[in-house]
Structure 1
Amino acid sequence: MKITKVEVKTVPISSPIRNAYIDFSKMTASALAVTTDVIKDGKPVVGYGFNSNGRYAPTCLLNERFIPRLLEADPKDTLTDDGSNLDPHKIHKIIMANEKPGGHGERAVAVGVIDMAIWDAVAKIEEKPLYQLLADRYGDGTVDEKVYIYAAGGYYFPDKGLKELQEEMKGYLDLGYKDVKMKVGGASIEEDVKRIEAVLDILPKGSGLMVDANGRFDLNTAIEFGERVKEYELIWYEEAGDPLDYHLQAELSKRYPHATATGENLFSLQDATNLIRYGGMNPDKDFLQFDCALSYGLVEYLRILDMLKEHGWSSRRCIPHGGHQMSLNIASGLALHGNESYPGVFEPFGGFADNYAVEDGYVKLPDVPGIGFEAKSNLYELLKTIGD
């Protein structure tokens, strides 16, 4: 048993939107396919992966460093001890050979793309959905049959006013979402408060709002914004400052009385550990948004979950960034709080399986082997073109 081929291509995910820091008009992603010599249903098993960081594709890193290491490895070194399947942990070690500590950034994303494809192949070889494989290996076999998701939106579009913002959020509610998230920090505090109030005005009883500043604020502004919005009792106040500014997060946590959330731009176990050590976050109310696809993949994410447990955090306080099927599988199989969703944005990579509607803020997963890309037709059509 061995990997016979690894192919990657760069694809666009452009969109005319922006958050507090960046616009998405020229964004790209890497899409990757790992082909094995295992035959299922008359065809070789192929695992797929994708992602980008800051929404730029790490294709050069994949081609120059990580794919060659994987292909040059002795096939037996990539397998489980009994030789029955690929071993993601051994493969992680192979592709990270000769990499110095630190320096995470886009390297973490490139490794995460390969990791995703390997886990997809592993689950397909075992003929299980990834969420069930994870529950069997790392839990008691029990999965969450449906996963909580919220609709992330509220971006700054050209000529988008309060009415258009309200209509956007109403659209998410009509799709079956219960809770919604909007961007802040890309306008003045006064304007953003008006935008928040406009959204709260249209939310029905039982629905809630999160806000995301995408790291825009300095300490004083983060605290000032928190003071202005604390009366609204938001579900959470997300990434107020630079993701590595643990002092800012700690000071904000002292002053802001409700839940905060952060972690999507921390790309390693060590960075996640530093947040827990020094960020002043509360395991009883705050949320952690580490995205395995951005942070060396599921192998590293499992280490992060172990670290959190040692520090008294429940996996139920984790709700991954990303809005894709990989995170959805992890949420179901590893008992996380839920998953993000970007309705209609970053297609075809965002979103979940066809014909699985959101109901009261939850979505079910398809019973198909692997991550389930084959059950999302527009994404699978793209993935099949890798190598063309």
Structure 2
Amino acid sequence: MKITDISVQVVSESKAHPVRDAIQLLDRNGHTRVRIDTDDGVSGVSTTYFGRVASSPEILARIVTEQLAPAIVGEDPTLIRGIRQKLRSLTDYQGTAGLSSYGISAIDLALWDLLGKSLDVPVWKLLGAQRTTIPTYAMVGWLELDVTGLETVSAKAMEQGFRGVKMKVGGGPLGEDVQRIRAVRAVIGPDAPLMVDANQAFEYSEALRRGRVYEELDCRWFEEPLPADDTDGHVRLAEKLDIPIATGENRYGQAAFRDLIARGGVGVVQPDLRRAGGLTECLEIGLMAEGFGVPYASHGGGAHIHVLAALPNTIYVESGLLPADGRVELVDGCYPLPLGPGLSSWND
């Protein structure tokens, strides 16, 4: 089997209901859909999401079609790690991190989808899954919501069967965070996990100050308290706080996680499929974290659920509210694994 063609479709449109975190407004629905065809008639697809900047999906499409695709047409699509290394070498001079990594990730995911479809099995079976359901929480607490809106959406998440919720912090003074956290806690109850996410908004001293308060409010973890590349800051913060530091969604490639994990700067590792390098890289990051006894929770859901099924240190898949069409129901606060071939997910 050989790769014969790689095609791309692009969508970029305004989001009907923009959402806000501590540093940005996510006001767009942008997607770059990559399809890999073979001479056996089997195809694999992946979809890369952009929440900001209208031109980003089209720029990624050009990187894939004009730079990455010509290098791998004619290759055996089952040699996924070999293709990854070839594309890393190709992009090394310009810098593999950034949109080059997005492109490599898109191809990696499409290759896994293709492999699963060629064997007529879901990818989680190819990875050696050790579970058939994944514990899940709902990321619903965006900052554009007032306290009443926050309470309403948190109650909805619990009604749908989620184990807990995550909410954004850092958009205003600490007292505002406290008010909002207490409101959500009152809705979800004393035992449900409540995570807080600052999206890199703080410098070290403010992260330490707020982290001590989030601890007192019994938050499950403190996500992205500092700029993503500040490994030293994460290590210092983890030494001072009992609340686990969750981070990783804005780090590129396995190497960017090595020192962070080894030095104890992360309590919950959270790679993002697009930035980390695709399914292959996220699986390897997760196994590295397991070697250090660090749990793994995805940034986002979708295809990531296949990785989570296979990792021994998985604790959560991140989700929004369940789709209104009822096509998926949680089982004891867990997502059931999709049964379709390739990288099918309940979000498809």
CA distance in 2, matches of 1:98, 1:71: 11
Does structure 1 retain, via aligned residues, the 8 Å contact 2:30–2:51?
no
CA distance in 2, matches of 1:365, 1:70: 31
Structure 2 residue 340 is matched with structure 1 residue 368? yes
CA distance in 2, matches of 1:213, 1:92: 32
Does structure 2 retain, via aligned residues, the 8 Å contact 1:88–1:118?
yes
Q: Offset at 1:36? A: 2.1
Structure 2 residue 303 is matched with structure 1 residue 301? no
Structure 2 residue 314 is matched with structure 1 residue 327? no
CA distance in 2, matches of 1:96, 1:352: 40
Structure 2 residue 46 is matched with structure 1 residue 49? yes
SS in 2 for 1:25: strand
Does structure 2 retain, via aligned residues, the 8 Å contact 1:109–1:296?
yes
| Residues 1:228 and 1:66: Cα distance change in structure 2 (over 3 Å) | same
Corresponding residue for residue 105 of structure 2: 112
| Residues 1:74 and 1:179: Cα distance change in structure 2 (over 3 Å) | closer
Equivalent residue runs for 1:5-16 within 5 Å: 5-12=5-12, 14=15, 15-16=17-18
Does structure 2 retain, via aligned residues, the 8 Å contact 1:34–1:46?
yes
Q: Offset at 1:62? A: 4.1
Equivalent residue runs for 1:82-101 within 5 Å: 86-100=78-92
SS in 1 for 2:89: coil
Does structure 1 retain, via aligned residues, the 8 Å contact 2:21–2:168?
yes
CA distance in 1, matches of 2:130, 2:327: 20
Q: Offset at 1:353? A: 11
Corresponding residue for residue 139 of structure 1: none
Among the aligned pairs, what percent are the same residue?
A: 27
| Residues 1:354 and 1:88: Cα distance change in structure 2 (over 3 Å) | farther
Q: Offset at 1:165? A: 0.8
1:313 equivalent among 293, 296, 319: 293
Letter in 2 for 1:46: S
Letter in 1 for 2:327: N
CA distance in 2, matches of 1:352, 1:36: 36
| Residues 1:26 and 1:61: Cα distance change in structure 2 (over 3 Å) | closer
Does structure 2 retain, via aligned residues, the 8 Å contact 1:246–1:279?
no
Equivalent residue runs for 1:118-197 within 5 Å: 118-135=111-128, 142-157=129-144, 160-197=145-182
Corresponding residue for residue 359 of structure 1: 331
Q: Per-residue displacement from partner, 1:242-275 (whole Å, max 9, x unpaired)?
A: 0111222122212211222111111111111131
Structure 2 residue 318 is matched with structure 1 residue 340? yes
| Residues 1:231 and 1:123: Cα distance change in structure 2 (over 3 Å) | same
The alignment yields a C-alpha RMSD, in angstroms, of: 2.4
| Residues 1:72 and 1:104: Cα distance change in structure 2 (over 3 Å) | closer
| Residues 1:366 and 1:308: Cα distance change in structure 2 (over 3 Å) | closer
CA distance in 1, matches of 2:211, 2:239: 11
CA distance in 1, matches of 2:327, 2:64: 39
Does structure 1 retain, via aligned residues, the 8 Å contact 2:286–2:311?
no
| Residues 1:65 and 1:113: Cα distance change in structure 2 (over 3 Å) | closer
Report the number of matched residues.
Answer: 342
Larger strand percent: 2
Letter in 2 for 1:5: D
CA distance in 1, matches of 2:126, 2:222: 33
Q: Per-residue displacement from partner, 1:78-102 (whole Å, max 9, x unpaired)?
A: 32xxxxx622112212322332275
| Range that drifts further, 10-19 or 171-180 | 10-19
SS in 1 for 2:25: coil
Corresponding residue for residue 23 of structure 2: 21
Corresponding residue for residue 36 of structure 2: 34
Does structure 1 retain, via aligned residues, the 8 Å contact 2:63–2:103?
no
CA distance in 1, matches of 2:68, 2:215: 50
| Residues 1:295 and 1:67: Cα distance change in structure 2 (over 3 Å) | farther
Corresponding residue for residue 59 of structure 2: 60
Corresponding residue for residue 213 of structure 1: 198
Letter in 1 for 2:9: K
1:275 equivalent among 260, 263, 266: 260
Q: Offset at 1:65? A: 5.3
Q: Per-residue displacement from partner, 1:15-40 (whole Å, max 9, x unpaired)?
A: 411101111113522111112232xx
CA distance in 1, matches of 2:73, 2:190: 58
Give 5+ residue unaligned stretches, structure 1.
39-43, 80-84, 136-141, 345-350, 380-388
Give the TM-score, by structure 1 length: 0.81
CA distance in 2, matches of 1:149, 1:318: 12
Letter in 2 for 1:266: R
